[in-house]
Structure 1
């Protein structure tokens, strides 16, 4: 105690800086080991042939008749800009007579209803469902309304659907996706296809950073979860569930519907809930012989405010609500994946601390250069930990570049490395907002649904440039 009392302000600052570096590097190394464990597992699964992306003949797959009715649920609040190109493209991509599109509109959103009606009048496979409540309600509430409409339609037609496929109004479906889902449903009750966030030339950093995150998450992490049987969370799009399994989930809620209206991430919970009632799940990665990944493609938010709002909802729903709603049961592997899913708030805090420490060290270094301050000297332990962190950062950047480059080419792979700080900064701001929102709910406030604004549909822009 006597020694501490003799320290001057500069020495105190150096001591605090040193201890904070130890704290940050310790948890960064833990996180790096966790990610490295996933990398090793992915490599092990690849060696055993359990992670390879299958190859299919697209013409042969699409010629395969559907085994039953496929009901496509598309909730649509304030989607007038994208709902018509989405439906137009989807109906052309999936011409099968067994397809039924159920579009969830709202009575106080005439613009979306009018756009969807234009398509519905030309194709009887499109069913418009007008919610009996003013919007916006939650996405889960709209999905439950679509489920009720499906039940009514089945009773009227005297025929039950084989599967329900979930999509959003901004999605560009793959022509081979529906047949692939129908085929995979012979072996599982819940199927999730990959999601590809498309690069955005007008938003090379904010909008395109989603490319890197989804390329790695749906090229590696979801493959590992599926290979280990550790539970497949739904992505909300490109998800198919067997019809009887959906009915079982609806029965568990006492008739309220199969989707959790009080959750901000009902899609994430939905996939895990299928597994919790004994349903088999599978993450399905297939490529055509020409090399195209059979996946759902979409543009993600291109502005910083909308990106932060979207990720706030993800962190709030998955990390914070998920802890309350889903608990920690399910065995070691599922608990490991839940822990990874719920690290968002702490990861945001750790990233913020790391950036502050790096910035502070730079300022102190400049002050030391002018003789105004004596920078602290790292202990051998801290020097070793900093070196490990540096190696881990390089490794993580390399892995991200590889997975992004595999889907979008080497240029995007290189840009993925440059976009890492952008991704981190958005995560920091979203983590803070999510924590504040969660604390507000603990005090009695309702969880707020921040819907993502969609301005462009991939099919429209590709048609403009002659890509499709």
Structure 2
């Protein structure tokens, strides 16, 4: 009978999803318990800014800003950086492409400032973000060869970022005792995209308020976010040596920032996640507008999944250290999570059908499997805990209204994850066939310093 077959399918899917949801819950509880213990014992916390934002730097800081089709935001980003970071030791290398005249002109129109260096790539774009970063790094070395002061630190930022005035000095001082420093990323709420763009607020509030804090304390590899991250010059040179290449960034990698951060730990250098609040209580973080439409959000998360889960496994492998292995499993669980979520939503469709069949007498369901019942109870309790943590972290950073909205945004975030998981697998298979990797770029149409529109 058709309903008997449907019932057996539902049972197997429930078992599959229940087991993996439970595994995921235990994984998250591990991080939650560690974070709560660290906070209650005072081992971690958010510090306070102690020096003025205009304090001189220990040495020259080079900020690398790659840009492709960013004419809408790159001018505002560079102008804001130059305005809030007055240090003479600052040099910004803004990279663009010869076939992207609008972005070139947007950078030129920033105006004359001796701290701004415009670098036009000698290839048509887009190549990859890492390739553009390598071109900027080469320009920095060319300047040094021509007599410019030796660069002490290299800072990565994107063309849509809004930097914090205190960030530059904070990064500079933190590099006294670390080789790589990452500041939090704070997605900005967008009136025109409370749900799609808003789910990034929820995810980063929890990830950069808890997950990265725990990783830092454990001493495992810290993934670089690609923005608001600083590296000591000798660490960059050591990574280039480790890769056996003249250029430090892997041009064939879609998430070169993530890989670069983990390589810092692999070569024995020290990484640090830095959480500070300024005199007004605001988080010292990189602010930006994240994608505001479903299509753009899926495209961005596809690149993250492709680069971190598939390329990360292929390029970085695993680790024999238990804690490092745990974190790499967490980083690369995205495709599996997408599959399990898809099964969960399929069950939401199947359950009403089988229930109606049972109520109408068309089908007599078998007794509920005790294992399934136990898994459902466990997972519902885990879901309630997960929702509570998400609300708490979003509320802490964005207020109670956004915290409550985070509950409604969780299903939407799951849909984005499912769609990105399918697309990432297709993209990875296509890359294996062609061997070509291109910059799957997210176009931005607003900068927080001048606009409240959403990114596309």
- The alignment's TM-score, normalised by the length of structure 2, stands at 0.96
Residue in 1 aligned with 2:75?
A: 84
1:392 to 364, 382, 386: 382
1:133 to 123, 134, 138: 123
Describe the SS at the equivalent of 1:141. Answer: helix
2:169 to 162, 179, 202: 179
Matched, 1:347 2:337: yes
Matches within 5 A, 1:76-115: 76-115=67-106
Matches within 5 A, 1:172-251: 172-251=162-241
Matched, 1:147 2:140: no
Once residues 98 and 2 of structure 2 are traced to their aligned partners in structure 1, the CA distance between those partners, rounded to angstroms, is 64
Describe the SS at the equivalent of 1:127. Answer: strand
Once residues 253 and 275 of structure 1 are traced to their aligned partners in structure 2, the CA distance between those partners, rounded to angstroms, is 14
Residue in 2 aligned with 1:24?
A: 17
Matched, 1:379 2:369: yes
Aligned length: 453
Residue in 1 aligned with 2:263?
A: 273
Q: Deviation of residue 382 (structure 1)?
A: 1.1
Out of 328-337 and 188-197, give the one that drifted further: 328-337
Once residues 66 and 391 of structure 2 are traced to their aligned partners in structure 1, the CA distance between those partners, rounded to angstroms, is 34
- The alignment's TM-score, normalised by the length of structure 1, stands at 0.94
Q: Deviation of residue 12 (structure 1)?
A: 2.8
Once residues 289 and 261 of structure 1 are traced to their aligned partners in structure 2, the CA distance between those partners, rounded to angstroms, is 40
1:172–1:297 Cα contact (<8 Å) kept: yes
Q: Which runs of 5+ in 1 are unaligned?
A: 1-7
Once residues 88 and 267 of structure 1 are traced to their aligned partners in structure 2, the CA distance between those partners, rounded to angstroms, is 24
Q: Deviation of residue 252 (structure 1)?
A: 3.6
Matched, 1:323 2:313: yes
Out of 241-250 and 364-373, give the one that drifted further: 364-373
Matched, 1:73 2:64: yes
Q: Deviation of residue 49 (structure 1)?
A: 2.3
Q: Deviation of residue 330 (structure 1)?
A: 5.1
Once residues 361 and 96 of structure 1 are traced to their aligned partners in structure 2, the CA distance between those partners, rounded to angstroms, is 62
Q: Deviation of residue 402 (structure 1)?
A: 0.6
2:18–2:379 Cα contact (<8 Å) kept: yes
C-alpha distance 71-393 of structure 1, shift in aligned 2 (>3 A): same
Residue in 2 aligned with 1:168?
A: 158
Once residues 360 and 383 of structure 2 are traced to their aligned partners in structure 1, the CA distance between those partners, rounded to angstroms, is 31
Once residues 243 and 403 of structure 1 are traced to their aligned partners in structure 2, the CA distance between those partners, rounded to angstroms, is 34
Once residues 352 and 387 of structure 2 are traced to their aligned partners in structure 1, the CA distance between those partners, rounded to angstroms, is 23
1:438–1:447 Cα contact (<8 Å) kept: no
Once residues 408 and 245 of structure 1 are traced to their aligned partners in structure 2, the CA distance between those partners, rounded to angstroms, is 35
Matches within 5 A, 1:8-47: 8-47=1-40
Once residues 112 and 368 of structure 2 are traced to their aligned partners in structure 1, the CA distance between those partners, rounded to angstroms, is 71
Q: Which runs of 5+ in 2 are unaligned?
A: none
Describe the SS at the equivalent of 1:240. Answer: strand
